[in-house]
Amino acid sequence: MEARERLIVGLDVPTVAEAEEKVRALSDSVVFYKIGYQLVFAGGLEFARDLARDGKKVFLDMKLLDIDNTVAKGVENIAKMGMSMLTLHAYPKAMRAAVEAAAGSGLCLLGVTVLTSMDAEDLIEAGYNDTPQALVRRRAEQARAAGMGGIVCSAEEAAAVRGIVGPGMAIVTPGIRPAGAEKGDQKRVMTPAEALKAGSSHLVVARPIVKAADPRAAAEAILAEMTDALKA
């Protein structure tokens, strides 16, 4: 894959009008977009359909988790929307139900392991005894066993996860920050080049692009860094 197919721009903006503005500004530089809760609850599902109809790839970041039947029915409908990727929390029963529901659709299901905004103290507070790294590895093993299309994890865990899932599964890493950029609420971050070298297949970048004075220039600078890393 070329760098453009690996860069996913997170449209973490409050309105569809602002999302449309960002897509116009990015023009043909970006072909893959992430739509999450903020935009979904502001009319973003129809916007996601429109992007797919216009030939863009859409990563619907819904982090599904529910009883098996509810997860399956949701996945079936999302597959019909033409989405390229969909997240669900990497719980084994939910993943197995989703994989069965998505069979034959071309929808890439991604298991969310440990959010990149969480560290060891956050996991302890949530009732887990594992470190983030140990829990990511366990979830990766379970996702592979369930037949998932890929994993969402921090770039810090990408190398370990790649060793677990092999070359065929996607490793999608949020928390990507160009050198010198603010971390914001992310705690486990890497630069684009570092993440690709670590084994990530797709990079999710939101604020460094959508909040930039010139989003297209910011995206193209990241794409140039990614291209150089892929050549190396």
**pTM for the whole thing?**
0.91
> Binding site annotation covers 228?
no
Percent of the chain topping pLDDT 70: 95
For 54-88, the pLDDT digits (tens) are: 999 999 999 999 999 999 999 999 999 999 999 99
Rounded to whole angstroms, how far apart are CA atoms 182 and 186?
9
Instruction: For residue 68, say whether it is annotated as part of any ligand binding site.
Output: yes
Query: Does 96 carry a binding-site annotation?
Result: no
Say what the alpha-carbon torsion angle 105, 172, 124, 90 is, to the nearest 10 degrees: 10
DSSP 27: G
Domain boundaries, the chain: 3-231
Which pLDDT belongs to residue 59?
98
Output the pLDDT for position 184: 54
Q: Whole-angstrom Cα distance, residue 3 to residue 201?
A: 10
CB count in 10 Å sphere of residue 101: 21
**For residue range 123-173, what is the model confidence (pLDDT) as tens digits?**
999 999 989 889 999 999 999 999 999 999 988 889 999 999 999 999 999
What average pLDDT does the segment 84-93 reach?
97
How much is the pLDDT for 225? 94
Helix (H) or strand (E) holding 32: strand 32-35
Identity of residue 110: L
pLDDT of residue 175: 83
Is 186 among the annotated ligand-binding positions?
yes
pLDDT level of residue 218 (50, 70, 90 thresholds): very high
* Catalytic center residues: 61, 63, 66
Band of the pLDDT at 102, cuts 50, 70, 90?
very high
pLDDT at 180: 54
Mean pLDDT of the chain: 93
CATH topology of domain 3-231: TIM Barrel (3.20.20)
Of the pLDDT bands very low, low, confident and very high (cuts 50, 70, 90), residue 188 is low
**pLDDT tens digit string along 193-204?**
999 999 999 999
What whole-number distance in Å separates Cα of residue 166 and Cα of residue 140? Answer: 11
**227 labelled ligand-binding:** no
122 is in an annotated binding site: no
70 has binding-site annotation: yes
CA angle 62, 51, 196 (to 5 degrees): 65
